[in-house]
């Protein structure tokens, strides 16, 4: 029977199947961060269990870590405790750990691929919902809960429910000024925040040939915001070229052998998906969210919707609440909304290609007076590369704060946050109430759109700005 890529990855990792459709799945790799693992280690320790295969794990602190003054002790007591605890736990269990002062430190979903820890054909788990990111490499990657992290460390396996499959077929090229973030937002708006729940999304289609790994990661990263815990792109030459030479990727003949296997990781031509969605990239516009769910996304040329016109009463209620929280009126144009803060970073848009896209807009321009703009590279290596290529200087010259790597203002756990009532154009993935700080108002955008907001002082269509490259 013809199989999808998801089926192949699933089948090759089943240890035992159960009658209810779930299965015990072998987990090749496990990523750890400081926020979701304290109870996992506690569970191990209270039962006297050891870590089954320490080298299958990789730990890094990212959520709570400061992005300034890294040479000093962490000032926030909670962050200091969380980070120290992770360090103690991994040392005790011999788990490879990237320390805070290491250039490789960064957001788990940035450093996994960067180090070649994430590889095609593998199963990868992490106590974090955005683990879907790693599916861009053709890995079966999924977020798990804290107790499951303990189970994975002790047994190298976890029980999962098989997902239904959804094919998202992408055709055409992205127009100038439009990025994969816009595509991701559009897709979530079309599907709804729960529209893909219970599904594994596979992105297919001619458009993928024009999308680099970083763009594919942005797409897979945001699949969870449509409810899909798993997202996939079949590995191709772009994947192979990106992984060649990565520190933890196989070397020499081993790499060639791995590539031969990776080439088998694609859906069979006759394979059936439970659902198929078509997206034409050529007509896509830059998007922005107006509400408090990632599904509240519209083209920047749009206006704030009117809940009173909504035929779904529950949605109308949610939307009205969102408008109240966001301080918006129905019918208001999105282009022109003044912003106080601009954040460029996160595991969605904190990679080199994202910084480049923003820098293209920033070059020769200045951040609008009164706007606070902050750029936080996704990893120390992204930061170093951006500095080597002169991008950091573009950000600094424009008036951006240029920080050390971490989750930062994406989740505001490290003190990088916005004030109540402040409006922020953010390249992150969630715009929930309070996500970037209590009372803060988040508008999700791509990196070029964030840069455009920074220099104009308001949400605006980046296509209206002349790019001075």
Which residues bind to ligand SF4, rule: CB under 6 A? 63, 107, 109, 128, 130, 346-347, 407, 410-411, 428-429
Cα-flanking dihedrals φ and ψ of residue 130, to 5°?
A: -85, 20
Site for ligand IPM in 84-143 (CB under 6 A): 128-130, 143
Closer CB to ligand IPM, residue 66 or residue 177? 66
Site for ligand IPM in 36-55 (CB under 6 A): 36
Residues 207 and 438: their CA atoms lie apart, in Å, by: 39
Residues 7 and 159: their CA atoms lie apart, in Å, by: 16
Place of tokens 């792109």: 233
CB of 225 to ligand SF4, least distance (A): 10
Closer CB to ligand SF4, residue 152 or residue 411? 411
Joined together, the tokens standing for residue 55 give 């080298």
Angle (CA) 146 148 154, round 5° = 115
Beta strands 157-161 and 230-233, pairing class: unpaired
Q: Edge to edge, what strands does the sheet with 441-444 contain?
A: 401-402, 372-375, 341-344, 423-426, 441-444
Say whether residue 416 binds ligand IPM (CB under 6 A).
no
Closer CB to ligand IPM, residue 39 or residue 129? 129
Closer CB to ligand SF4, residue 307 or residue 406? 406
CB of 195 to ligand IPM, least distance (A): 19
CB of 127 within 8 A of CB of 162? no
Closer CB to ligand IPM, residue 65 or residue 392? 65
Give the residue from 327, 320, 292, 302 showing the smallest Cα distance to 444: 292
Closer CB to ligand IPM, residue 145 or residue 198? 145
Say whether residue 186 binds ligand IPM (CB under 6 A).
no
CB of 347 to ligand SF4, least distance (A): 3
Site for ligand IPM in 55-74 (CB under 6 A): 63
CB of 34 to ligand SF4, least distance (A): 11
Which of ligand IPM, ligand SF4, none lies near 414, with the C-beta cut-off 5 to 8 A by kind? Answer: none
Say whether residue 35 binds ligand IPM (CB under 6 A).
yes
Q: Give every CB contact of residue 305 below 8 A, 6+ residues apart in sequence.
A: 290, 298, 319, 330
Provide the 8-state DSSP code for 73.
P
Which of ligand SF4, ligand IPM, none lies near 301, with the C-beta cut-off 5 to 8 A by kind? Answer: none
CB of 27 to ligand IPM, least distance (A): 17
CB of 127 within 8 A of CB of 145? yes
Cα-flanking dihedrals φ and ψ of residue 135, to 5°?
A: -65, -15
Which of ligand IPM, ligand SF4, none lies near 334, with the C-beta cut-off 5 to 8 A by kind? Answer: none
Half-sphere exposure of 79 (CA within 13 A, CB side): 21
167 is annotated as contributing to ligand binding: no
CB of 320 to ligand SF4, least distance (A): 27
Q: What stretches of 135-220 adopt beta strand conformation (E)?
A: 140-143, 157-161, 164-171, 199-204
CB of 386 to ligand IPM, least distance (A): 23
Closer CB to ligand IPM, residue 107 or residue 453? 107
Give the residue from 133, 198, 202 showing the smallest Cα distance to 161: 198
Residues flagged as binding site for [4Fe-4S] cluster: 347, 407, 410
Q: Which residues bind ligand IPM (CB under 6 A)?
A: 35-36, 63, 128-130, 143, 411
């Amino acid at each position: 029977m013809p199989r999808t890529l998801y089926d192949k990855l699933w089948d090759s990792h089943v240890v035992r199947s159960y009658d209810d459709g779930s299965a015990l799945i072998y987990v090749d790799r496990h990523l750890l961060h400081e926020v979701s693992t304290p109870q996992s280690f506690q569970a191990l320790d209270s039962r006297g269990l050891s870590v089954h295969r320490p080298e299958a794990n990789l730990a890094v602190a990212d959520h709570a870590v400061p992005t300034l003054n890294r040479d000093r002790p962490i000032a926030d007591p909670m962050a200091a405790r969380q980070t120290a605890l992770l360090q103690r736990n991994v040392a005790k269990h011999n788990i490879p750990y990237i320390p805070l002062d290491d250039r490789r430190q960064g957001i788990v979903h940035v450093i996994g691929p960067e180090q070649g820890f994430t590889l095609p054909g593998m199963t990868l788990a992490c106590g974090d919902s955005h683990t879907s990111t790693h599916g861009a490499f053709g890995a079966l990657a999924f977020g798990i809960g804290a107790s499951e992290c303990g189970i994975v460390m002790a047994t190298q396996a976890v029980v999962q429910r098989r997902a239904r499959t959804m094919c998202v077929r992408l055709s055409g090229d992205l127009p100038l000024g439009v990025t994969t973030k816009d595509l991701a937002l559009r897709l979530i708006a079309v599907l709804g925040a729960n529209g893909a729940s219970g599904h594994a999304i596979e992105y297919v289609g001619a458009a993928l040939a024009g999308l680099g790994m970083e763009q594919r990661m942005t797409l897979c990263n945001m699949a969870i915001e449509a409810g899909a815990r798993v997202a996939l792109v079949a590995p191709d030459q772009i994947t192979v070229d990106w992984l060649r030479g990565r520190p933890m990727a196989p070397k020499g003949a081993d790499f060639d052998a791995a590539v031969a296997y990776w080439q088998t990781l694609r859906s069979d031509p006759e394979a059936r998906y439970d659902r198929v969605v078509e997206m034409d990239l050529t007509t896509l516009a830059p998007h922005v969210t107006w509400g408090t769910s990632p599904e509240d996304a519209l083209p920047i040329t749009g206006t704030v919707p009117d809940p009173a016109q909504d035929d779904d009463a529950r949605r109308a209620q949610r939307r009205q609440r969102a408008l109240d929280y966001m301080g918006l009126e129905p019918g208001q144009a999105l282009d022109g909304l003044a912003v106080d803060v601009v954040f460029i970073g996160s595991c969605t848009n904190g990679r080199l290609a994202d910084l480049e896209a923003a820098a293209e807009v920033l070059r020769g321009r200045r951040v609008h007076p009164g706007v606070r703009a902050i750029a936080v590279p996704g990893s120390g290596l992204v930061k170093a590369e951006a500095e080597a290529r002169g991008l950091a200087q573009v950000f600094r010259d424009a008036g951006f704060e240029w920080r050390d790597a971490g989750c930062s203002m994406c989740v505001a756990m490290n003190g990088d946050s916005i004030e109540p009532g402040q409006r922020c154009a953010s390249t992150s993935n969630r715009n929930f109430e309070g996500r970037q700080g209590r009372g803060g108002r988040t508008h999700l955008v791509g990196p070029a759109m964030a840069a455009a907001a920074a220099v104009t002082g308001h949400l605006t269509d980046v296509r209206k700005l002349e790019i001075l490259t």
